[in-house]
């Protein structure tokens, strides 16, 4: 009786399938094993970006001048969940495990926005949002950091907006993810451009969001200038997108009601 050839098609297929099966098991095992590490790194990166926007940690640094690392610095912040519909805290939602971006894609935990009410072009607005609060020795808010996002030229920009204790003035801004063109819209990462935001007044006399990115600022000392930031050179759509997303998130559909409640001592 003839024996099958070792290099026959059957043996070749058997070896190929076996190798693929072993490789898939190894890859799957590695993915499962690394998942907790990847999650921990994402959380650490999130904390770092909050600290940078708040001006607590320098861009690119891993610790402050006193040698305090990200975890130690972030421990000074209180993380709360806000019901964006009422502007009040949602203490029944666990702030540590809450994933704001994930809920935005969940129809049961978000609302579809019509074009006219969606200047930031986010399409769906989550019912709840995170806030990061740093308090002074007396317990008063020193800095508040809000997650922000909105469409630029090529995609959505994701970042954080830090507010001073009056909750009306910008303390800092930072974008940790975007698809804008390097050297143009990508200048949202430029420290010199971001430094302009400190001290910008968010609201006009009527209480509505009034931030404007312009190519020629109003005269020094004027009311208009207090709301203005230089537009990004050669990046009109990105500049307009940043203006729209900042005004959206501090407006009534974003964190505006919570900000009003906070300033009025109602939460």
What is the band of 14 on the pLDDT scale with cuts at 50, 70, 90?
confident
- 34 burial class (0-12, 13-18, 19+ CB within 10 angstroms)? exposed
Give residue 6's pLDDT.
Answer: 60
- 266 burial class (0-12, 13-18, 19+ CB within 10 angstroms)? exposed
Per-residue pLDDT, averaged over 116-136, amounts to 98
Least confident of 8-22, 95-109, 153-167, 212-226: 8-22
What is the band of 40 on the pLDDT scale with cuts at 50, 70, 90?
confident
Place of tokens 């968010």: 202
Does 132 have pLDDT greater than 80?
A: yes
In the beta sheet, which residues pair with residue 77?
A: 134
In the beta sheet, which residues pair with residue 257?
A: none
Give residue 10's pLDDT.
Answer: 72
For the chain, where are the alpha helices, taking DSSP H only?
A: 9-53, 70-74, 100-104, 191-195, 236-249, 256-263
What is the band of 39 on the pLDDT scale with cuts at 50, 70, 90?
low
- Other Cβ atoms less than 10 A from the Cβ of 230: the count is 14
Give residue 21's pLDDT.
Answer: 80
Q: pLDDT of 205-232, one tens digit each? A: 999 999 999 999 999 989 999 999 999 9
Kindly list the distances between the CA atom of residue 234 and the CA atoms of 21, 26, 151, 166, in Å, as whole numbers in the listed order: 52, 48, 17, 34
CB within 8 Å of 153: residues ≥ 6 apart: 180, 181, 185, 235, 237, 238, 241
Cβ–Cβ under 8 Å, residues 218 and 225:
yes
**20 Ramachandran zone, left/alpha/beta (phi>0; psi -120 to 50):** alpha
Place of tokens 């959505």: 156
What is the band of 13 on the pLDDT scale with cuts at 50, 70, 90?
confident
Give residue 12's pLDDT.
Answer: 73
């Amino acid at each position: 009786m003839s024996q099958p050839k070792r290099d026959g098609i059957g043996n070749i297929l058997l070896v190929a399938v076996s190798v693929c099966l072993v490789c898939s098991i190894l890859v799957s095992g590695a993915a499962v094993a690394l998942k907790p590490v990847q999650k921990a790194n994402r959380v650490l990166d999130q904390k770092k970006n909050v600290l940078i926007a708040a001006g607590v940690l320098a861009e690119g640094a891993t610790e402050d001048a006193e040698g305090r690392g990200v975890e130690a610095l972030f421990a000074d912040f209180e993380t709360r969940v806000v019901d964006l519909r009422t502007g009040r805290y949602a203490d029944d939602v666990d702030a540590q495990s809450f994933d704001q971006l994930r809920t935005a894609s969940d129809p049961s935990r978000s609302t579809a926005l019509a074009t006219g009410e969606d200047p930031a072009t986010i399409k769906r607005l989550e019912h709840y949002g995170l806030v990061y609060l740093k308090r002074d020795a007396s317990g008063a808010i020193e800095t508040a950091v809000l997650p922000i996002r909105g469409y630029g030229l090529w995609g959505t920009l994701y970042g954080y907006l830090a507010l001073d204790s009056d909750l009306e003035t910008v303390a800092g801004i930072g974008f940790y993810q975007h698809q804008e063109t390097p050297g143009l819209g990508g200048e949202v990462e430029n420290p010199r451009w971001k430094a302009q935001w400190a001290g910008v007044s968010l609201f006009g006399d009527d209480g509505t969001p009034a931030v404007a990115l312009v190519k020629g600022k109003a005269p020094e000392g004027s009311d208009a200038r207090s709301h203005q930031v230089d537009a990004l050179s050669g990046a009109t759509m990105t500049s307009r997108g940043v203006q729209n997303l900042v005004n959206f998130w501090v407006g009534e559909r974003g964190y505006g009601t919570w900000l009003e409640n906070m300033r009025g001592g109602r939460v």
